Structure 1
Amino acid sequence: METKLDQKRMESVRRRCGFSSGFEIEAESLEEGDFNDILYFFEKSGGVLREQKRMEAFRDTLEECKLLDIGYWRVRYTWEMDIPTILTGHRSFPFEAWWTMEENFEGLIREFWDSSFVSLMEKLKLLQNHLKKWSGSIKSRKDGLKRSLTRELESLLLKDRDDDTMAKIIDTKIHLNLEIDKDECASTRRRINSITKLVSEDGREITDGSEILEAATGYFEDLFASNGNGDPQNVLEGIESIISHEVNESLLSPFREDKVRTALKDMGPIKAPGLDGFPALFFQQYWHIVGKEVLDFCLGILNGNKGANLANVTEIVIIPKFHNPSSLVNFRPISLCSVLYKIVVKTIANIMQNIIGLCIDEVQSAFVPGRFITDNVLLAYEILHTFRQKRTGKKGYMEIKLDMSKAYDKVEWNFLKEMMLKIGFAHEWVGLIMKCITSVSYAVNINGYRGRVFQPTKGLRQGDPLSPFLFLICSKDAKETVSSLLGVRSSSNPEKYLGLPNVVGRRKKEAFKSILDKISLRIDSWSTRLLSQGGKEIFIKSVLQAIPTYAMSCFLLPKTLCESIENKLARFWWQKGVGRRARVFKAKYFPDCSFRDSNLGSSSSYVWRSIWAAKASLEMGLIWRVGTGENIFVFEDAWIPNFTIVRLTSDFGNLQFVKVAELIKSDVREWNRELISNTFSEAEAEMIFRIPLATGPHEDLMVWKGELSGEFSVRSSYKLLQDYDPTAYALHHIYRDFYNKLWKIDIPLKIKMFIWKISWNYLATRVNMSLRKLSTNYLCPHCGSGEESVNHLFRECPASVTIWKELSDAILVTFPFTDPPGQTIKVNFDDAFDERSKLSASGIVVRDSSGSVLLASTELHKDVDSAFAAEAIACRRASQIALNINRESVIIEGDSLTIIKKCKQRDFDKSQVGSYIHDIQMLKNRFKTVSFEFVPRSANNLAHILASETLKRRERVYLVNGVLSYAEFQSKIDYAREPD
């Protein structure tokens, strides 16, 4: 309860009312009144800033008392008055993603689509009405289900609480909560995001719903009206033509189905749809029904035969830039384009993404593949650090920080068109883009209601996939213009840039306190208190641990802050290339050496100290992949995989070689076994012989040994640090493999959590309940013959034994070999590997379209490092044999999905088998037509038998038009099976 009585009088009231518990909080000032403490900074407007410790203490108090902040959704601050009226207007059509899970929904769509013979846009409009009626019947059914579940729960609560009844109560509660949560979460979200008041430019307060909608429409109508700023040619005088004739030719090639399908596939399935209400999920899931008409519509626009105006009616929704704004200036407009229009412009944007680097300045980082926005964060910090260090000399520096207000909205269409033509884009390409930009019409959506439609004459849309690229092109000449205009407002010391601190002083924790506030805010949300253990795990991994990631990509966070974050998470869990950025740091801190040879230096910035602190961790994970060996020092570099001590310890004082290349016979691309055996110890020599050498030499590569791909990842870096410091593991090494496998299994999370609890004996068995003085009965309720421990419950109880026996019969599904089509031949490969001898065998079988064996071949290979390498060697051997047969069309099949994927890719493979994959890629270029396909083991049995028997018998085979006796039975099975 809340009272305005002072503490002394409250004590008297408590005694008279008989309250046995409670607490009093003194008023904030000498005057008596409400308890005006707050949980977060944004809950207070004006006055002196509240101390962080005081807010943390208040949050801790609420947590200890098990109290929740239920929120407040009307006027933000209690001293503001007037309650607004509800909006009226056209309600938007909401397509619900869960409809697709209804059993008859696809049939409903197909029946309607096949029976309608109007245009695509008309079909979608009619389908809206059809689905509204259908969803009404679904809602009635679900309301009936809620009532039924409520009655069932009330009935169960009146019964005796035996085990069966408790199980039914829990299941019914879960089912009922799921149905209720869908509606409550949506209602709560709408309530929180609703706009209840606006203040017009003349200071008038608007609370009527219709007036708010019209005011917003008028605001954006004025915002997107062109100023008619004359001829832009004088602004474009210094811009040079960049786009070449070859680039324009590639841009003007006809659009095809695959590009349209790729654009649709890349869209978020349930991201906000446009005016028609259909999200990308609808078109993705039912492409086999609607795809032909959608494809014809989009290609008609892209290839110049149709206008885009039919699909280009865009809804504007406004997102607040901060909590509870009242002026439209403080909202960010987001354009909800229809998915049909998005498919068109995303197809164009995917092409623009590949060439945007040609059109913009090197210092621009956003939206360019291979560049990151965090690059600019680091550079801004480094520049300001240099300013602070500059204390002597006559020449100083000046910083100009610009904030472009409503930048997208102010782009003049005429200027954009002339700019694209000036840098060299073809008229046809510019015409296609301008057709998409200028055919737009807008309707503002406030609180789910849509206003009147209007046509803009300038501006780019937030939410249009093409807008970021067009804006970058428009801003190309900004540097020259700003250089000539210095009449800008200055900022004495901008606290943040792109959301991160510009200057980090000695109080580092204070600089990053907003991270802890964000985590606290998400944890303290009332909805997170109701999560299950599995739900908490997902929330921690997906939401909470992601919050500090952005800052951690640039700064080494203080240890005390990390500990505070860990404490927060733990408490929540247990309660219910050398880019521009690198070049800047290299020029300043290590101009004459590599990063690995750099020193920390004095007066270094906090960014550089954060980066340099990770150097030791980086060194632990780097290793050379041997190509030519010209760049690798034998006794100084790490180049031997799977070796705990990567620096060789041989006595090399009198040796005449220093590079790995001198250990390789370059003419045959093999290790010089005699030289290596006479120089190194037996263990060292064996490890060197296992390093694969590509038949065609390639450059030496520095790779990351923590990942099989050779690419750096934060996850593997953390893993290497844990291996380096065994005390970092929370679990004993005996259980490490078990838990690694458990978390990787593709099963429901609640089952994983249940297994985890079993492994730690956290289940409420009767033995555990008795140990905690919660029960006096130890006996198993199922058999009554033993104590109900975890081991008894799952292994020894007769009921459990019966269940395990019934589950033990496996269902085997096999996939047979299939013949290749037409004149194509099929080459199947497999391997067998002996870990102890490091010997492997390759089995290759070649068959034609009738299934007849054309060739059976096996080969033995020495010094093979792993079964993975053995599979790659077998694939290389299969490629060599297929090339020698000299057929126009070849299919190469294997049962190693990873190897097949690597063979399909074009990029250089940095993994341990990269040398073999390099050879396969070189061979692949010499085929007329070749494809690599994955098949399960059951469809690859003949090659498997050949490899296994060869490893046992230690004999090579090369047999034309047949196989050896031990493989004849499998060959007949593959040949005699029913054709497809």
Structure 2
Amino acid sequence: METKCGRQKIDKLKCKLNIPGIGVESKGKSGGLALLWNKEIFVDLISFSHNHIDAQTLEDCGLHDVPFSGYPFTWANNRVRPHTVRKRLDRACTNLSWNTRWPRTRVEPLDRIYSDHAPISVWKNHPRLRAPNLTFKPRRFEDMWIKSKDCEQAVKDTWNESIQKLETATDFGERLEGCKLGLLKWSKKEFGDTRKRIEPRKLNGNNGESGLVDRRRPEYDIFFTQKLHSKKTNQIERIQDEVGQWCEDSTLVQGVIQCYFHTIFSSAKPTKEDLEEVINVVPSRVSPEMNQQLLEKFIAEEVTLALHQMFPFKSPGPDGMPPHFYQRFWHIVGFHCDVVALVLRVSSVTYSFMLNRSQFGFVQPERVIRHPFSPYLFILCPEAFSCLLQAKENKAEIRGVRVARNAPPVSHLLFADDTLIFCQATNEAMRSLTLGVWIDSIPDKYLGLPYFIGRNKRDLFSFVRNRVWQCISGWKEKFLLQVGKEILIKSIIQSIPSYCMNCFRLPNSLLNELEGLAANFFWNDAEKKKIHWISWGKMCRSKRDGGMGFRKLQAFNHALLAKQGWRIIMNPDHLIFRILKARYFPKGDFLSAKSGYNPSYSWRSLLEARFIIKAGSRWRVRDGSNIRVWKDPWLPRPTTFLQIMPPSLFLPDLRVSNLLDKDNRCWNSELVEGIFCLEDSNLIKSISVSNLAIPDFWVWHFNKNGKFSIKSASHIATKLPWGKSRLYLREHNVVATKPSSFPREVQWQAPINGAVKINFDAAISNKGCGVGVIMRDWKGQCIGWCTNLYPGVKDPEHGEALAARSAVEFAANIHGSYALLKEIALL
């Protein structure tokens, strides 16, 4: 009991009553827990403190909180505002047997009389709650049905039977419903009642062939508790209406839902002048050629191709038929041409609602467009709204906000389904932005991220830790093997903080705590703690190196931030780049920028991850006009990408374009060998030069396509770019990294009559890379050949690319013939 007394007073009470007990020191006028017992009773006191909670007691005893109904608080400090404090201190708990017998149990507080606490009453059957709806979960098409040989015949029979009952071509939905009902009857005859057969096997495993469940087993209590909890969490018991009143009656809940969506989809009856104003400011995006393609008639092959591109069992429709049903039985249930014509003429649809597994009501929207373009409604409306705001800004009716003197003005930003508007606080601007929206306070978070970041960042991002802890706490009750725990850690636990990591650098203490939670979940059991046999750092290694492949969260956070920095470099025309450039580096670039005056936490987070970009990015040589030889990274030599020899004092401003022979579009060998050492000159001459005068651009060195990747960036952050064994194989093999002990015999296949075939290959040695190209006709006779030598090239994939380029240039000299290019590779 809570006595609100100090420990000394409780000890005096024990002496007067001459009974044993224990008391906890109070904090002011709260606390002071006391436990007294008779001498005949033996009590073993384990521990006590001010921070003890009853979570472990509820878990051990199998108790659950009873839902509240009515006023949510049971205690108040009886003070006048703004010093009023209200809390819910009293509650009721029930076990599994009670919840099974009285599932509609509720707790309702009573009126407070001469006390700061309100008594609570427990209702076994709350009068405001109706009996639960006994509708069953909608049955859907099962994948197991296809494994039966009689499934296709059953679809044919049920579909033909529904056609005979419904002869009109517009009743496709009713035909489909009849087909589904027929398949359900066929499934019960073919497979029996699968749901009743599955649940015993979930509990008894392989020994559950008898189909009987021992309700005395603890596994049954855990299974039934989880099932009962999932049913409660997946139901809507009450809802708040527009006035702010809570509706608990199911009829009222349905009315609030239907009224809400009816208001959203009701038309505001715009005038012709309003529509013309919007159309005049929206630029034309569809060209005549694009419009002609849109107006072309589709063919059956296009519909079939689009249907087979869908995932088979993802997002089944409200009719219960997934895409796999149509993919497998399209030849039976395919649309008739008349049905397609009727569907395309539908200008609006009707929406119904699912509440606690029961369907009710319908709403016919008025704010719609013709059926084929209806999915783009939420894209067209923000685009038109953005054009209206831009037109107001061009007329100087509203003015955007600038973060710096030379920064572009920002009048509005679109995030998902939200629109942020920035303008000056003047009456004229507010009249121009009369939108009929309500005023609300600034929330603490927006799109899951905090608005304002102070000094205590660990407490600010503690919601990430709480989400991870909630997931782990729910999994502790399940019997999981370490394989299942590994999947949960990789797919859920380590993906929860990734959203925040994209924008902010999370504190190392928080990341270490998240890794500790994951390690405890992996090694510990549901009953007790166990020894961690391997450190988490070793488990974060790849499985090839003896680890488990878990992410090192600090390196992963740096990699995600580096990706944002890479986007800033690659997209100089984007709004975020122009704003950051005007604010932090108006006279430089991102790689050389400094933190600046009063920087934001997101900008400091980007600067912390900039070392990854410097360690993995370099210039790709094209015309060489933008690359400084002595300062910019441009050589394919990780991780500096610079030359070995020191910069020349006589040529401090040398550009790569000065090293190129512009007439022949190749390197000036004499100039390169005269300036650089032998190793640098060979490496420079191994870089391919484009035949076209295109500008230089940045590439990511550790990816074949030159694009940034999170995986390679994480390896850079953890100083493990790749395994030493793979490097050894790449340096000591000619082309393939995995040579075969018994190479297969190469057989040349002739092309079609009248065509020629070009084969090309590359070979790498210590001197460089040699490529060969040979051309033969359909009879196998040699028409021509060529060879090229590229010193300094030691990468097999680079050599193959040079061989393919030589083959294309060789084939460009052929006129009037069809050339087929084929690579020769012995793997």
Q: TM-score, normalised by structure 2?
A: 0.63
Distance in 2, matches of 1:146 and 1:41, equals 26
Give the SS at the match of 1:839. Answer: strand
Give the SS at the match of 1:717. Answer: helix
Does residue 307 of the first structure (1) align with residue 346 of the second (2)?
yes
Distance in 2, matches of 1:178 and 1:889, equals 71
Does residue 316 of the first structure (1) align with residue 316 of the second (2)?
no
Q: Which moved more, 1:687-696 or 1:108-117?
A: 108-117
Distance in 1, matches of 2:639 and 2:816, equals 46
Displacement of 1:509 after TM fit?
A: 1.5
Aligned residue number for residue 677 of structure 2: 681
Displacement of 1:314 after TM fit?
A: 3.6
Match of 1:196 among 224, 237, 243: 237
Does residue 240 of the first structure (1) align with residue 280 of the second (2)?
yes
Does residue 276 of the first structure (1) align with residue 329 of the second (2)?
no
Give the SS at the match of 2:598. Answer: coil
Give the SS at the match of 1:610. Answer: helix
**How has the CA–CA distance of structure 1 residues 130 and 505 changed in structure 2, closer, same or farther, with 3 Å as cutoff?**
same
Q: Which moved more, 1:501-510 or 1:689-698?
A: 689-698
The one-letter code sitting in structure 2 at the alignment partner of 1:286 is R
Compute the RMSD of aligned alpha carbons: 5.9
Confirm or deny: 8 A CA contact 1:845 1:856 kept in the other structure: yes
Displacement of 1:516 after TM fit?
A: 1.1
Does residue 868 of the first structure (1) align with residue 810 of the second (2)?
no
Task: String of CA shifts for 1:277-312, please: whole Å, max 9, x gaps.
Answer: 2233433x4276468538x5796468x5x4367xx4
Correspondence 1:55-66 to 2 at 5 A: none
Correspondence 1:792-811 to 2 at 5 A: none
Give identity over the alignment, percent. Answer: 21
Displacement of 1:683 after TM fit?
A: 0.9
Displacement of 1:634 after TM fit?
A: 0.8
Distance in 2, matches of 1:319 and 1:364, equals 42
Displacement of 1:624 after TM fit?
A: 0.4
Distance in 1, matches of 2:276 and 2:385, equals 14
Distance in 1, matches of 2:266 and 2:39, equals 68
Displacement of 1:155 after TM fit?
A: 10
Task: String of CA shifts for 1:346-381, please: whole Å, max 9, x gaps.
Answer: 88758997x99975638999xxxxxxxxxxxxx99x
Confirm or deny: 8 A CA contact 2:619 2:699 kept in the other structure: yes
The one-letter code sitting in structure 2 at the alignment partner of 1:872 is A
Match of 2:711 among 706, 710, 715: 715
Displacement of 1:528 after TM fit?
A: 7.2
Aligned residue number for residue 450 of structure 2: 501
Structure 1's unaligned 5+ residue stretches are 50-69, 158-176, 321-332, 366-378, 387-396, 404-467, 473-478, 739-809, 895-942, 949-980
**How has the CA–CA distance of structure 1 residues 534 and 254 changed in structure 2, closer, same or farther, with 3 Å as cutoff?**
same
Confirm or deny: 8 A CA contact 1:97 1:270 kept in the other structure: no
Correspondence 1:553-564 to 2 at 5 A: 553-564=502-513
Aligned residue number for residue 690 of structure 2: 694
Give the SS at the match of 2:386. Answer: coil
Confirm or deny: 8 A CA contact 1:274 1:314 kept in the other structure: no
Distance in 2, matches of 1:179 and 1:832, equals 66
The one-letter code sitting in structure 2 at the alignment partner of 1:594 is D
Confirm or deny: 8 A CA contact 1:830 1:944 kept in the other structure: no
The one-letter code sitting in structure 1 at the alignment partner of 2:593 is S
**How has the CA–CA distance of structure 1 residues 703 and 227 changed in structure 2, closer, same or farther, with 3 Å as cutoff?**
closer
**How has the CA–CA distance of structure 1 residues 548 and 262 changed in structure 2, closer, same or farther, with 3 Å as cutoff?**
farther
**How has the CA–CA distance of structure 1 residues 239 and 203 changed in structure 2, closer, same or farther, with 3 Å as cutoff?**
closer
Instruction: Count residues in correspondence.
Output: 648
Distance in 2, matches of 1:585 and 1:42, equals 52
Q: Which moved more, 1:864-873 or 1:648-657?
A: 648-657
Aligned residue number for residue 557 of structure 2: none
Aligned residue number for residue 952 of structure 1: none
Match of 1:661 among 642, 657, 662: 657
**How has the CA–CA distance of structure 1 residues 840 and 223 changed in structure 2, closer, same or farther, with 3 Å as cutoff?**
same
Does residue 131 of the first structure (1) align with residue 183 of the second (2)?
yes
Distance in 2, matches of 1:657 and 1:398, equals 38
Does residue 629 of the first structure (1) align with residue 559 of the second (2)?
no
Correspondence 1:338-737 to 2 at 5 A: 359=384, 361=386, 483-485=432-434, 490-491=439-440, 493-526=442-475, 529-576=478-525, 577-578=571-572, 579-648=574-643, 649-655=645-651, 658-723=654-719
The one-letter code sitting in structure 1 at the alignment partner of 2:452 is V
Q: TM-score, normalised by structure 1?
A: 0.54
> More helix by proportion, 1 or 2?
1
Confirm or deny: 8 A CA contact 2:758 2:774 kept in the other structure: yes
The one-letter code sitting in structure 1 at the alignment partner of 2:514 is I
**How has the CA–CA distance of structure 1 residues 536 and 298 changed in structure 2, closer, same or farther, with 3 Å as cutoff?**
farther
Confirm or deny: 8 A CA contact 1:27 1:34 kept in the other structure: no
Displacement of 1:661 after TM fit?
A: 1.0
Task: String of CA shifts for 1:385-431, please: whole Å, max 9, x gaps.
Answer: x9xxxxxxxxxx9999999xxxxxxxxxxxxxxxxxxxxxxxxxxxx
Q: Which moved more, 1:518-527 or 1:185-194?
A: 185-194
Match of 2:193 among 121, 125, 140: 140
Aligned residue number for residue 95 of structure 1: 140
Displacement of 1:244 after TM fit?
A: 3.1
The one-letter code sitting in structure 1 at the alignment partner of 2:465 is L
Confirm or deny: 8 A CA contact 1:92 1:277 kept in the other structure: no
Displacement of 1:688 after TM fit?
A: 0.8
Correspondence 1:700-779 to 2 at 5 A: 700-723=696-719
Give the SS at the match of 2:470. Answer: helix
Confirm or deny: 8 A CA contact 2:665 2:691 kept in the other structure: yes
**How has the CA–CA distance of structure 1 residues 316 and 652 changed in structure 2, closer, same or farther, with 3 Å as cutoff?**
same
The one-letter code sitting in structure 2 at the alignment partner of 1:565 is L
Give the SS at the match of 2:637. Answer: coil
Displacement of 1:130 after TM fit?
A: 2.2
Displacement of 1:563 after TM fit?
A: 2.0
Give the SS at the match of 2:761. Answer: strand
The one-letter code sitting in structure 1 at the alignment partner of 2:147 is E
Distance in 1, matches of 2:622 and 2:429, equals 46
Give the SS at the match of 1:582. Answer: helix
Task: String of CA shifts for 1:107-153, please: whole Å, max 9, x gaps.
Answer: 35764588575654344222211221233343536755876898895
Aligned residue number for residue 957 of structure 1: none
Displacement of 1:203 after TM fit?
A: 9.2
Confirm or deny: 8 A CA contact 1:146 1:179 kept in the other structure: no
Task: String of CA shifts for 1:890-939, please: whole Å, max 9, x gaps.
Answer: 55444xxxxxxxxxxxxxxxxxxxxxxxxxxxxxxxxxxxxxxxxxxxxx
Distance in 2, matches of 1:575 and 1:497, equals 36
Give the SS at the match of 1:831. Answer: strand
**How has the CA–CA distance of structure 1 residues 149 and 14 changed in structure 2, closer, same or farther, with 3 Å as cutoff?**
farther
Distance in 1, matches of 2:281 and 2:387, equals 16
Give the SS at the match of 1:596. Answer: coil
Confirm or deny: 8 A CA contact 2:158 2:183 kept in the other structure: no
Structure 2's unaligned 5+ residue stretches are 1-19, 24-33, 77-99, 110-121, 211-217, 391-399, 420-427, 526-570, 729-740
Task: String of CA shifts for 1:856-881, please: whole Å, max 9, x gaps.
Answer: 74634323342112222232333344
**How has the CA–CA distance of structure 1 residues 710 and 567 changed in structure 2, closer, same or farther, with 3 Å as cutoff?**
same
Confirm or deny: 8 A CA contact 2:771 2:802 kept in the other structure: no
Confirm or deny: 8 A CA contact 1:197 1:207 kept in the other structure: yes
Displacement of 1:678 after TM fit?
A: 1.9
Aligned residue number for residue 840 of structure 1: 770
Displacement of 1:697 after TM fit?
A: 3.4
Confirm or deny: 8 A CA contact 2:140 2:320 kept in the other structure: yes
**How has the CA–CA distance of structure 1 residues 27 and 77 changed in structure 2, closer, same or farther, with 3 Å as cutoff?**
farther
Displacement of 1:635 after TM fit?
A: 0.8
The one-letter code sitting in structure 1 at the alignment partner of 2:290 is S
Confirm or deny: 8 A CA contact 1:589 1:598 kept in the other structure: yes
Confirm or deny: 8 A CA contact 1:831 1:843 kept in the other structure: yes
Displacement of 1:267 after TM fit?
A: 5.2
Distance in 2, matches of 1:265 and 1:335, equals 32
Displacement of 1:235 after TM fit?
A: 7.5
**How has the CA–CA distance of structure 1 residues 491 and 130 changed in structure 2, closer, same or farther, with 3 Å as cutoff?**
closer
Displacement of 1:636 after TM fit?
A: 0.8
**How has the CA–CA distance of structure 1 residues 645 and 586 changed in structure 2, closer, same or farther, with 3 Å as cutoff?**
closer
